[in-house]
Amino acid sequence: MKIDREHLHKIAHLARLEFDERTADNMMQEMSQIITWVEKLNEVDTEGVEPLTTMSHEINVLREDEVKNHLSHEKALKNAPKKDADYFKVPKVIE
């Protein structure tokens, strides 16, 4: 498939790409090459091939969640740069 300027501008709009007209010819050529490559992939016979969900055959080893009391509330607040009674004070981020 050959990419023309109309397709290029439509794709750029959908993908929120910005470019100047000096690079348009180069982008059209590169996009045409990409589409040609994808069209070749469509010619591959994938009948009976299961979809690939991961590149690794390793299985995650998960552990059970355990509730532990590592620090007391007071110890955590002791090292806080700013605190207010039982709470950490942080800079305001929303106006």
Which pLDDT value is given to residue 15?
Answer: 92
Helix, strand, coil share (%) of the chain residues, nearest 5: 40, 5, 60
Which pLDDT value is given to residue 55?
Answer: 80
Question: Are 2 and 25 spatial neighbours (Cβ–Cβ below 8 Å)?
Answer: no
Which pLDDT value is given to residue 68?
Answer: 80
Burial call 46-66: b when 16+ CB within 10 Å, e when fewer: eeeeeeeeeeeeeeeeeeeee
Q: Which of 6, 9, 52, 11 is nearest to 35 (CA)?
A: 11
> Quick check: pTM over 0.75?
no
Which pLDDT value is given to residue 41?
Answer: 86
Which pLDDT value is given to residue 46?
Answer: 87
For the chain (length 95 residues), average pLDDT per consecutive 10?
Answer: 87 90 90 91 88 80 83 81 87 84
Which pLDDT value is given to residue 1?
Answer: 74
